[in-house]
């Protein structure tokens, strides 16, 4: 709502349902129009189309770099997991069994032991770690894998909840609980930083409450973010697994004193859900908006002329030239030249606008005469003429400005949609409106969470790490309850 004003002055996109009319349909329309994904023949599965996949690769790149900077290495573990593995950790089975797809036949025969299509890999990886770890010198193990996983979801939603999705799962093993806990929080911070700095998602990092913990974890941490309908989205999680999986899979090592000890493990992941987060945080009624630092295509140059001859021989070569110098300035292949000359300018504008390209550069005869290009910002619609010789210097700055505009816009929105409650009544009231976060004091445990969920539809999102203040629990009335954010969530 905050940023509808500008858009209303322009003609509305005719192929996108407006956000205010039907938020879910708007979300689906964006995905369709921007050609991010399409439904696959199997229910709950999606095809990530080239535009969507390019965005994923870009996201992947930023996270992968950060993982490597923090000493992690990539590896690959198999898709199929013996069913007995999943059953080794009590809470883990309970949590995942209902959504597992199981392979019972192969090679035309019934398998002796059914194989589970991985819903996550703690178990196989635990099994392998137990083989690889003997001494404290073998620790820590800091491995990440980029993979697909499958969770048979009752109600799929493109990017947010599909039966198969792509993600990254980090799995580490340490010799002390302190070190494992540090790792858990370090990766949470890596997530927070990239989401904030690159994806322009204002996130609140915090600890999950009892009721929201990963099955088998001692502690779960999260980066929670608010979508433009006021609902919360868990954008990434890290888990301190204690010795639970080490016990289940016998990951033991001999310490410096010669005693055998179970290792301490962690796991952490972000998925293609982040694409959903980007869509629902930044996009508008005209289509997708991608923050420049995350965008696979940061600027597009459109040579424009009614004169086919000039278009081909003067404007296009100039555009290609500008594109390559911009790519040098931006340090990558982030600029493209639009050659859809069979379309009229308006169609070409909309094409890129709806795909979320942060900055459009129009190069027409008038511009060439003046020695400028017409730049149009995706986030504000603002137009400006920029001298060609200053482009290499100006464009990167402009992109950074768009980046921060998008972040601040989203942050302001979240702040405006966040209220505090110090009684249960206030909480209910805060949750009764059109979405948003409610901060409150809570120490009511799973039962309290259940009650709130039943009565308001909202769940505990997290206990924010940055806020260690305490107060009187709205359910039990006891003092010293931590601050907890409640919201309706995806």
Partner RNA sequence: CGGGGCGUAGCGCAGUCUGGUUAGCGCACCUGCUUUGGGAGCAGGGGGUCGAAGGUUCGAAUCCUUUCGCCCCGACCA
Per CB under 7 A, residues contacting RNA are 10-11, 13-16, 24-25, 28, 39, 42-44, 95, 98-99, 151, 153-157, 160-163, 165, 167, 214, 234, 236-237, 269, 271-273, 286, 304-306, 308, 344-347, 349-351, 353-354, 362-368, 374, 376, 381, 383, 453, 457, 489-490
The side-by-side arrangement of strands in the sheet containing 109-117 is 80-82, 109-117, 101-106
Contact 281, 410 (CB under 8 A): yes
- Min separation Cβ 170 and RNA, Å: 13
- Min separation Cβ 155 and RNA, Å: 4
Pairing of strands 203-207, 164-174: unpaired
Kindly report the backbone phi and psi dihedral angles of residue 470, in degrees, each rounded to the nearest multiple of 5, phi listed first.
Answer: -130, 165
Residue 84 or 340: which CB sits closer to RNA? 340
Which residues is 221 bridged to in the sheet?
207, 238
Residue 130 or 354: which CB sits closer to RNA? 354
Cis peptide bond prior to 319, omega within 30° of 0: no
- Min separation Cβ 470 and RNA, Å: 26
Distance separating alpha carbons of residues 232 and 229, to the nearest angstrom = 9
Residue 133 or 217: which CB sits closer to RNA? 217
Residue 130 or 272: which CB sits closer to RNA? 272
Label residue 83 left, alpha or beta by phi (over 0 means left) and psi (-120 to 50 means alpha).
alpha
Residue 25 or 84: which CB sits closer to RNA? 25
CA-based nearest residue to 159, from 56, 304, 232, 302: 56
Distance separating alpha carbons of residues 479 and 490, to the nearest angstrom = 31
Element (H, E) at 236: strand 232-240
Residue 110 or 308: which CB sits closer to RNA? 308
- Min separation Cβ 328 and RNA, Å: 23
- Min separation Cβ 398 and RNA, Å: 15
Residue 14 or 105: which CB sits closer to RNA? 14
- Min separation Cβ 38 and RNA, Å: 10
- Min separation Cβ 176 and RNA, Å: 26
Distance separating alpha carbons of residues 125 and 130, to the nearest angstrom = 9
Q: Please report, for residues 150, 159, 166, 226, 289, the alpha-carbon distance to residue 280 in angstroms, rounded to integers and kept in the order given.
A: 23, 11, 19, 9, 10
Contact 452, 402 (CB under 8 A): no
- Min separation Cβ 157 and RNA, Å: 6
Residue 232 or 481: which CB sits closer to RNA? 232
């Amino acid at each position: 709502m905050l940023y509808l004003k500008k858009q209303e002055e322009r003609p509305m996109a005719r192929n996108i349902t407006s956000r205010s009319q039907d938020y879910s349909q708007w979300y689906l329309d964006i995905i369709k129009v921007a050609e991010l994904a399409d439904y696959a023949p199997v229910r709950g599965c999606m095809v990530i189309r080239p535009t969507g996949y390019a965005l994923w690769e870009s996201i992947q790149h930023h996270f992968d770099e950060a993982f490597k900077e923090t000493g992690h290495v990539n590896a690959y573990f198999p898709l199929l997991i013996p069913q007995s593995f999943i059953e080794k950790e009590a809470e883990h089975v309970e949590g995942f069994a209902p959504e597992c797809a199981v392979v019972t036949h192969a090679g035309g025969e019934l398998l002796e032991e059914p194989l589970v299509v991985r819903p996550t890999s703690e178990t196989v990886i635990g099994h392998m770690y137990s083989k690889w770890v003997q001494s404290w010198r073998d620790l820590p193990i800091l491995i990440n894998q980029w993979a697909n996983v499958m969770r048979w979801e009752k109600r799929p939603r493109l990017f947010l909840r599909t039966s198969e999705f792509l993600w990254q799962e980090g799995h580490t093993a340490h010799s002390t609980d302190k070190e494992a806990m540090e790792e858990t929080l370090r990766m949470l911070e890596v997530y927070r930083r990239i989401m904030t700095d690159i994806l322009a998602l204002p996130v609140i990092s915090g600890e999950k409450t009892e009721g929201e913990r990963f099955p088998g974890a001692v502690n779960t941490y999260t980066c929670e973010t608010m979508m433009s309908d006021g609902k919360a989205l868990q954008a990434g999680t890290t888990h301190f697994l204690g010795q639970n999986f080490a016990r289940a899979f016998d990951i033991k090592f001999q310490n410096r004193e010669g005693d055998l000890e179970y290792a301490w493990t962690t796991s952490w992941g972000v998925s293609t859900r982040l694409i959903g987060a980007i869509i629902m945080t930044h996009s508008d009624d005209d289509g997708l908006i991608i923050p420049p630092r995350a965008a696979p295509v940061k600027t597009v140059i459109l040579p424009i002329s009614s004169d086919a001859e000039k278009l081909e021989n003067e404007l296009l070569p100039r555009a290609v030239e500008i594109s390559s110098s911009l790519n040098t300035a931006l340090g990558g292949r982030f600029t493209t030249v639009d050659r859809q000359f069979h379309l009229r300018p308006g169609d070409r504008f909309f094409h890129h606008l709806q795909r979320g390209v942060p900055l459009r550069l129009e190069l027409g005869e008038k511009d060439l005469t003046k020695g400028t290009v017409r730049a149009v910002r995706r986030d504000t619609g603002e137009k400006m003429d920029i001298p060609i010789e200053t482009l290499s210097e100006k464009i990167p700055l402009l992109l950074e400005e768009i980046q921060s505009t998008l972040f601040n816009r989203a942050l302001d929105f979240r702040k405006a949609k966040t209220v505090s409650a110090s009684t249960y009544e206030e909480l209910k009231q805060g949750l009764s409106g059109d979405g948003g976060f409610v901060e409150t004091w809570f120490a009511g445990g799973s039962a309290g969470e259940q009650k709130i969920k039943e009565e308001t539809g909202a769940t505990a999102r997290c206990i924010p790490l940055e806020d260690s203040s305490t107060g009187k629990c709205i359910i039990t009335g006891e003092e010293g309850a931590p601050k907890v954010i409640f919201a309706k969530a995806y």
